[in-house]
Amino acid sequence: MSWAAAVLQLLRGMNSFHTQGSSKASCKPFHVCGQAVGVVPPRVTALLPRHPDVFQLSECEPVQLCAGMSTYEERSHALRRVLDQWRQLELFDCLRGWRDENYEVMPRFCDPPLMHVERSAASLFGIKTYGVHVNGYVRLEDGGLAMWIGRRAHSKQTFPGMLDNLAAGGLSAGLGVKETAVKECAEEASIPECVAAMAVPAGSVSYTYEDERGIFPECQFVYDLELPADLVPRVGDGEMSGFYLWPLEQVREAIAGSEFKPNCAMVALDFLIRHGVVHADSEPYYQQLVEGLHREL
């Protein structure tokens, strides 16, 4: 398989909710306060009649929270009660990864949050989640660039032992985007705050996939961080097992392989596109690659 074919296959997989054979046509919109915040797959919709005090159901209408819940706290606590029951009954595998970490729920990132949801449960309602990924790179003496690539710890719940970006993490309720970038750099790669604070915002990567855990509409805010040549990332909180400094051509080849955590491969690909390693004159499928990095729910 060619490099482009392998990468396009990766991008199709990360946007599998939009492909033939997905559950998209049978999902119901999920509304909170009259605003669309997600999509509910059939296996979840089937359980909702058990909770008439929380969900308002109609055959031809979106799934909604009951109108009597007028505050952020009421809505958050009501959904949490349902999820606690499902977790105790072991109804969904995704809830075994319960993290006690809350994600804000809002129609768009610019909108005020309407409630929060446990991170491991967001996929059950197709709620869009946000994260931050940091590309660490070094400027070489010849003017070229090399990129720091992390390897995830083998003890990780998800994608153990796979390649990753320098640092990354979900955007938890109450934390800012740049704040999260700096925090993850310190925790995962032992990057001093004064260095991590120099990270430059570089856009975002969006996709929607589904698997046995649910539906995952995700947006990753991307930062580029130029590191001094003598600063070597070190394993911090145990999320990573090590770091490698690779020429960009080696990163390019790795993206098409099977070792990268898929969304991290997308972030690395975005870096290569923005820095001219992959461009329209050299890659016939350039437009498809770019489009695959920016698919919305």
Q: What is the pLDDT of residues 107-154, one digit of tens each?
A: 999 999 999 999 999 999 999 999 999 999 999 989 899 999 999 999
Q: Are residues 96 and 180 in the same domain?
A: no
Boundary (domain end) residue, out of 125, 153, 184 = 125
**Residues 6 or more apart in contact with residue 247 via CB below 8 angstroms:** 144, 146, 147
DSSP 260: B
Q: What is the predicted pLDDT for the residue at 143?
A: 86
Is the pLDDT reported for residue 60 higher than 90?
Answer: no
**Residues 6 or more apart in contact with residue 223 via CB below 8 angstroms:** 132, 133, 134, 135, 178, 181, 199, 200, 201, 202
Residue 63 lies in a domain: yes
**Residues 6 or more apart in contact with residue 36 via CB below 8 angstroms:** 29, 30, 62, 107
CA gap 172, 156 in Å, rounded: 19
Q: What is the mean pLDDT of residues 168-177?
A: 95
Q: Are residues 227 and 153 in the same domain?
A: yes
* Tokens encoding 231: 């600063």
Q: What is the predicted pLDDT for the residue at 274?
A: 98
* Tokens encoding 220: 């990753």
What is the domain count for the chain?
2
Q: Are residues 140 and 100 in the same domain?
A: no
Neighbours of 30 (CB within 10 A): 23
Is the pLDDT reported for residue 161 higher than 90?
Answer: yes
Q: What is the pairing mode between strands 35-40 and 28-32?
A: antiparallel
What number of CA atoms fall less than 13 Å from residue 78's CA on the CB side? Answer: 22
Per-residue burial over 171-205, b = 16 or more CB atoms within 10 Å of its CB, e = otherwise: bbeeeeeeebbbbbbbbbbbbeeebbeebeebebb
Q: What is the predicted pLDDT for the residue at 55?
A: 97
Q: Are residues 145 and 262 in the same domain?
A: yes
Residue 42 lies in a domain: yes
Domain extent, residue 190, equals 3-17+129-292
The label of the residue with tokens 């310190």 reads 186
CATH no. for residue 146? 3.90.79.10
Residue 224 lies in a domain: yes
Q: Are residues 58 and 191 in the same domain?
A: no
Q: Select from 114, 127, 122 the least CA-distant residue to 70.
A: 114
Helical axes 3-14 vs 248-255, angle rounded to 10°: 60
Is the pLDDT reported for residue 260 higher than 90?
Answer: yes
Q: Are residues 143 and 45 in the same domain?
A: no
Q: Are residues 39 and 118 in the same domain?
A: yes
Q: Are residues 13 and 143 in the same domain?
A: yes
The DSSP-derived string for 140-181 is -TTS-EEEEEEEE-TT-SSSTT-EE-SEEEE--TT--HHHHH
Cβ atoms of 217 and 208 within 8 Å: the answer is yes
Q: Are residues 91 and 8 in the same domain?
A: no
- pLDDT tens for 79-97 read 999 999 999 999 999 999 9
Average of per-residue pLDDT values in the chain: 96
Residue 65 lies in a domain: yes
Cβ atoms of 200 and 182 within 8 Å: the answer is no
Neighbours of 73 (CB within 10 A): 11
- pLDDT tens for 225-254 read 999 999 999 999 999 999 999 999 999 999
Boundary (domain end) residue, out of 125, 154, 177 = 125
CATH no. for residue 79? 3.30.750.160
Q: Are residues 52 and 67 in the same domain?
A: yes
CA gap 234, 267 in Å, rounded: 21
Q: What is the predicted pLDDT for the residue at 1?
A: 86
Boundary (domain end) residue, out of 125, 153, 175 = 125
Residue type, 167: A
Query: Confidence band (pLDDT; 50, 70, 90) for 59?
Result: confident
Is the pLDDT reported for residue 3 higher than 90?
Answer: yes
Q: Are residues 8 and 101 in the same domain?
A: no
Residue 297 lies in a domain: no
Q: Are residues 89 and 142 in the same domain?
A: no
